[in-house]
Structure 1
Amino acid sequence: MSEEIRIEGFTRDDFPNARVTRGSANVTLHSIQPYKEAERIASRLNPGIEWYFVAGFGMGYIVETLLKNPSAQILVFEPLTEIIDHAKSSRDLTKLLSDKRLHIIGDVDEIVPFLESRDIREVNYYLHRPYSLLFPEIFTGMEGILTSYLSKRQINKNTLKRFRMVWLRNMIKNLRYYYALPGINHLRHPFAGKPALIVGAGPSLAKNIEAIAESADRMAIIATDTALPMLGAYGIVPDFTVSADPQDKNTLYLLYSGNPATTLVIDAAGSFLTFSKFRPARTFLYDSFFPIYRELSPLWGEKGDLKSGGSVSTTAFDLARFLKCSPIIFAGQDLAFSGKKTHFHGNVLEDFLFHRIDRLHTYDNYHSRTLIFSDRIMIDGYAGGKVPTDRKFLTFLEWFKREIAATGVPVVNATEGGAFIPGAEHIPFAEVRAKYLASPIDKTSTVEYTAPENPVYPEYFLDVAAECARLIPLAQAAYSASLRAADDFRWKRDISGNFKPMNDFDRAVLTALKAGNAVSRFIELAMQESIERIMDSSSNSKEISGDIIDGWKGLYGDALLSLRKVRHLLSKAEALSSS
């Protein structure tokens, strides 16, 4: 820290304290009653959450008070070791600092790795206010770091929960393509050391789309699938288009673009509609992180890995690194609500909205609602000042920050709007052209891949189908029993005679899970919500009520539906493989 920092200790009413001066900021670390202050702070935090993150150690009063909770684990971020040294010289902190539940770090970049290393999923957060006045450049963004980390964990959890059946469906339906199509590992290209442009679908893309068209032969253009329609409208054919979302709606971007001359790079668990309906010049797979896919991938061989930070733009960025491009340039990467919009004008979703707007439901109102419902957060903007974003965008921004720091080539943000991306050079696209895009580049590439003549339908899927066939009658019996139980309860009859079929199914599922093999993991994924509810009900001794019985109906009905769906998908895939 370049500015001089002065620490002046003093004692009042037998409580050691300190005044700290940095530049024009002069603060006292604690009130005249530091323990009462600490108790008040502790009372506002949730003692049921194990981990506490305290931004600013001060004299240690707050940490000492929080450690009275025997289940507490505390992470302290303290950027100034001199403050801790002063506290140690003023108070006896031997016991406090030797407590194994206390962890102190002094580097902002250590926060997320620490949280990840201990798989911390929720945390109490307290920012000691004097620190935000002393070090605003550090502590203003502290909540954003935590928000991003926790949001990412929640996003990952919700993503798996939301898309598990979509991934299972796609993987089963895409099976034949795993053998037929090459992976990015099989691509031979001339792009190493050449500039790459990552084109996102942010609203600022409209600012430089024409300049991109004029310079298209001077860089490798890597587009997100969401940006493809606008590029097509300007006659731009990306060298690569990345598709990472498993949902069928993403196929619309590709089909809508009228731009099949591009090379598609797609997650192996991407939408089966994209595989079957979109016909690009070439298609390359990259390996899905989906656990079942990873277990089976030795059958068809590795396709190549790309990282993902939850957004297709993060995967496109990693593709540029995979190709060893330099520099890597961003356009349309707002990561914020530029002009109160989420995407560029002319996006497929925007066209969909135009069919739904009227005097009462306007286009502007839609974007306003997006801002309201997205838990708006103000962050540093591309051109200075603050811009609104949300937790999802903030998660992507933190991912880029970490990955850019670990990238050994220049990264340039030429978005000309949206968020400031730490670690990137921020210059307009016109300057990018002058500085990095001197002349046309060779884009000739080849593929080294031979598809197997007789692809194998995995025995694994036959085993899963057999397990589904065993569990479906039990699930049907349990569901029927839950319906009878609901009827008996409504008419105040004894419901105990309905318990056996439900218990039989619960035991069968839990027994299948205990096997711990690949088949059990597939069943666990297909029935994730049902299994969670079975586990919860087995440890729940609540008095039976109408709501609980309705829960049984939902549990066994969902389980039956999931098992039937998986069996149906497997039977269709087997028929295709044998035809």
Structure 2
Amino acid sequence: MNSFADDSILQKNLKVLSTISPGIEERILQSERQLEIKISKTGLPVLVADGVSLHSAMDPLTESKRLLEGLKKEDEERVFLFFGAGIGYSVQESLKLKNVTSVWMEAEASVLRYALSFFDYSKFLMSGALRILLSPILEQDLYAAFRGISGYPISFIAHRGSNQWKRESYEELRFIAEGFFHKKDVNISTLTRFERIWTRNFIANLPALSRMRPIKTLFGICEGKVDVLVCGAGPSLRLSLEELRSYRERYVIIAVDTALMVLWNAGIDPDLVFSVDPQALNSKYLEGYSGNAKIVFDPTSSYHSLRLPGEFKNGFFTSSPFPLIKILSSKPEEEIGVVDFGGSVSTNAVSLAEKMEARNILLLGQDLSFPNKLAHCKGAVLEERLNHIESRKLRREYHNHKQMTALPVKRASSLKDGTIRTNEKLLIFKKWFEEHPKKNPWFNLGKDGVVLEGIPNSGFAEYIQKNECDLAAVNLIRDRIAKICGRDGAQTNAAGKVQTRLQKEILSELTNLSAQLKTFSEKVRRGRVLSDRLYTQIKSEDRFKDQILKSLKEMDQIDEDVSSRKGLTEILGMSIQRTVLMITEGYEGGLTLEEKKNERLGIAKKSLLLYQGLEDACNLHSKLISKTIVQLSNP
């Protein structure tokens, strides 16, 4: 390769790298592209690709120092994210800094092959001070690379030489990183916002869920014979209401809950209505509905929804990633059924249409943008509620504006030509619709909104002309859906027996869990008291030097007892995600500067935070479970 390169160094680096990122070693070794090596005036190797020098021909080391010169470095823990680095001079400089973790994203395997031959990165790779990613980069690769550091301040560092050589390839790395961090921020925000609400809803919903049917009973029901139309609540939905009302009998319709009252007020009654939002406001979408649709309900959705009047509640429930789902079934994926989660109720509804084995899946109201500067369909419940709270200083136009400007503005191709305003969150959903594997044809019947690549846009008339409809088959499937949750004859008796058995099983599980929590919460309380004492002792180490060792031994025993109850800690963990993220990702600060500088004090603080969180979670679960036990005992 070159006199500066050393194959033994390459093999040493690759050996460590392969244990961290399986498969990357093979991709690097398979890169056959030969690059040129020149010598700088200071005697250091310079990588040249297609005539473009990736480093300074004068002094690449000084160049790399200047690149990092203006960046904050050792004031606190932070991440330097490099988009290309050539041989890696700037990365090597960053590895000399005490509180910096370096992540190197590289577009070209051949560049990485040379870089890993010039410098021994093995100890930095082993310690986690350096993480390397090579294109193509998958989402799971990013999660693995940023585990434990994504909560730190991050500096994006573009490499001048790499950008001059292949600008598009290295800019794409930046776009991938930006998309990942935005999505992770959304996920973390959701976890920390709803951690306790999810738990409260799930446990409070158990009595009602015992009277519902698992969603698996809908899987395969269409047998590839009828179309399923999934109706979202985008602003353009109103443009299609008249046509939808005219052709309603041709489809099985799944409405998202936000679109339900828009359809109902237009004289359109869907067959299923999907609800997944945990917020109490979500139940307002179902208020006043008296049609025949059956709800498809996520167990963590607002418990207020299942306490409303109406037959729609006698519907279906989905599985859940929450450990509490084991209360309903020991094999939730097999016995309850799972739909894919794409981040919105619309993606869930489309996944259900797939699992129902629809002939074609038709999308309506999936604007994923702001047509005519509107954030939601006119007539939606949220808009109607503004009638009651609107004032001189809170106009509905202002409310709409706030929804449109909550996230940075993005532009996307429009169904009406040109571009249309959208935002990063909606683009995540757009990407899901476009990239989700399609087992059967999808069509977008919407009249406005973003272009969904790979999903043909069609009007109702055009679609009907090209696709025949067996009305008898549609009616048969709709009747089957209604009868699964029916309330008459032998079916009612059989369903009643199943419900009674399920209620008894749930009551038994909750009673057992309540007893376990009582014992466990006492250990957690002792752990919280002891970790608080240990934190104080370490903080004033000179005064408590002889007591610290004794406290550590006691703490070890409690830690062992608590960690041995894996099932309970998994259940409790979902309601303390904010605490978990503070400990693992540095979310919302987590540790003070003093605690970061003193490693032992930092560990003690993390232990204290964990036990405080577990104690709160024990109290929350015990309270909610006790209420539900009373409800199930007195149906």
TM-score (norm 1): 0.74
Counterpart mapping for 1:89-488 below 5 A: 93=115, 95=117, 103=132, 105-107=134-136, 110-116=137-143, 118=145, 120=147, 122=150, 125-126=156-157, 145-187=176-218, 189-190=221-222, 192-256=224-288, 258-281=289-312, 282-294=314-326, 297-298=329-330, 302-403=335-436, 406-436=437-467, 440=471, 441-445=473-477, 446=480, 447=484, 450=495, 451-454=498-501, 455-457=504-506, 459-466=508-515, 469=518
Contact 1:254 1:278 in 2 (8 A): no
Contact 2:236 2:449 in 1 (8 A): yes
CA distance in 1, matches of 2:572, 2:257: 32
Contact 2:47 2:87 in 1 (8 A): no
Instruction: Indicate the SS of the match to 1:425.
Output: coil
| Structure 1 match to 2:86 | 61
One-letter identity of the residue aligned with 2:377? F
One-letter identity of the residue aligned with 2:456? E
Q: Deviations for 1:431-477, whole angstroms, at most 9, x for unmatched residues?
A: 33433465635242433984154322455533543455468789999
Q: Deviations for 1:94-136, whole angstroms, at most 9, x for unmatched residues?
A: 61599676756454xx443532465657365456689989989
Contact 1:380 1:387 in 2 (8 A): yes
Instruction: Indicate the SS of the match to 2:405.
Output: helix
Deviation for aligned residue 1:557: 9.5
Match of 2:569 among 520, 540, 546: 520
One-letter identity of the residue aligned with 2:81? Y
One-letter identity of the residue aligned with 1:307? D
Residues 135-144 or 148-157, more deviating: 135-144
Contact 2:133 2:141 in 1 (8 A): no
Instruction: Indicate the SS of the match to 1:520.
Output: helix
Deviation for aligned residue 1:337: 2.6
One-letter identity of the residue aligned with 2:285? Y
One-letter identity of the residue aligned with 2:86? Y
CA distance in 1, matches of 2:170, 2:579: 42
Q: Percent identity?
A: 23
| Structure 2 match to 1:52 | 81
| Structure 1 match to 2:8 | none
Q: Deviations for 1:118-176, whole angstroms, at most 9, x for unmatched residues?
A: 56573654566899899898787765543333333333333232222222222222223
Pair 435,97 (structure 1): closer, same or farther in 2 beyond 3 Å: farther
Deviation for aligned residue 1:560: 7.1
Pair 157,165 (structure 1): closer, same or farther in 2 beyond 3 Å: same
CA distance in 2, matches of 1:513, 1:475: 7
Residues 339-348 or 412-421, more deviating: 412-421
| Structure 1 match to 2:605 | none
Instruction: Indicate the SS of the match to 1:241.
Output: strand
Q: Deviations for 1:335-370, whole angstroms, at most 9, x for unmatched residues?
A: 223333221111111122233333333222222233
Q: Deviations for 1:168-219, whole angstroms, at most 9, x for unmatched residues?
A: 2222222234443211222362352532222111112222222222222222
Residues 298-307 or 129-138, more deviating: 129-138
Pair 249,72 (structure 1): closer, same or farther in 2 beyond 3 Å: same
Contact 1:247 1:271 in 2 (8 A): yes
Residues 314-323 or 464-473, more deviating: 464-473
CA distance in 2, matches of 1:119, 1:242: 34
Task: Determine whether 1:77 maps to 2:132.
Answer: no
CA distance in 2, matches of 1:367, 1:316: 25
| Structure 2 match to 1:548 | none
CA distance in 1, matches of 2:318, 2:271: 16
CA distance in 1, matches of 2:59, 2:383: 55
Instruction: Indicate the SS of the match to 1:426.
Output: coil
Deviation for aligned residue 1:522: 2.9
Q: Deviations for 1:401-421, whole angstroms, at most 9, x for unmatched residues?
A: 331xx2232222333333332
Instruction: Indicate the SS of the match to 1:329.
Output: strand
One-letter identity of the residue aligned with 2:302? S
Contact 1:151 1:395 in 2 (8 A): no
CA distance in 2, matches of 1:413, 1:335: 12
Residues 96-105 or 188-197, more deviating: 96-105
| Structure 1 match to 2:587 | none
Contact 2:507 2:632 in 1 (8 A): no
Residues 116-125 or 561-570, more deviating: 116-125
Deviation for aligned residue 1:330: 1.8
Pair 554,218 (structure 1): closer, same or farther in 2 beyond 3 Å: same
CA distance in 2, matches of 1:12, 1:387: 51
Pair 470,279 (structure 1): closer, same or farther in 2 beyond 3 Å: same
One-letter identity of the residue aligned with 1:392? K
One-letter identity of the residue aligned with 1:284? F
Deviation for aligned residue 1:311: 0.5
Pair 476,438 (structure 1): closer, same or farther in 2 beyond 3 Å: closer
Deviation for aligned residue 1:253: 0.6
TM-score (norm 2): 0.68
Contact 1:468 1:563 in 2 (8 A): yes
Contact 1:195 1:436 in 2 (8 A): no
Pair 330,474 (structure 1): closer, same or farther in 2 beyond 3 Å: same
Pair 358,289 (structure 1): closer, same or farther in 2 beyond 3 Å: same
One-letter identity of the residue aligned with 2:633? S
Contact 1:215 1:437 in 2 (8 A): no
Contact 2:215 2:318 in 1 (8 A): yes
